[in-house]
A = this chain, B = another copy of it.
């Protein structure tokens, strides 16, 4: 079991998750918040559905996430005049500030996560994980109803 890639992936992801969620929960945030904020910050405002496609978050979970972010003033919902089904989600200045905070938190976590690896190994690991992820992205269900 100790050398099963799926198991290793899981154990390491669990560890990374612990680190990340420690950092996040100390800041009163969760993974979904971070994902949505950075997406809005770097890729611009869009609808909830589209946001879901960008971040891999289900529409049902997106609602709660946006609610949270909106309640904290990090994000604004405005209706799309041309399509009454949609909301347009926009990040606020406060939201941008928070996005940067969380990004910094996450970055410092990468360091402690990758601590045992030297620079070459870090790059190689990242490369392999990217390759794996790119390949499997296609096989992932296209987030139904979005």
Tell me if A132 and B117 are in contact (CB < 8 A).
yes
Interface residues of A: mostly helix, strand, loop or mixed?
A: helix
Most buried by B among A12, A19, A35, A126: A12
Count A-side interface residues using an 8 Å CB cutoff: 48
Count of this chain's copies in the oligomeric assembly: 2
Given the contacts A1-B38, A11-B133, A132-B12, A6 and B109 also touching, CB distance less than 8 Å:
yes
A31 to B14, CA, bound (A): 14
Contact check, A15 vs B130: say whether CB atoms are below 8 A apart. no
What are 11 A-B interface contacts by the 8 Å CB criterion?
Answer: A1-B38, A1-B39, A2-B130, A3-B130, A5-B110, A5-B126, A5-B129, A8-B133, A11-B56, A12-B136, A125-B132
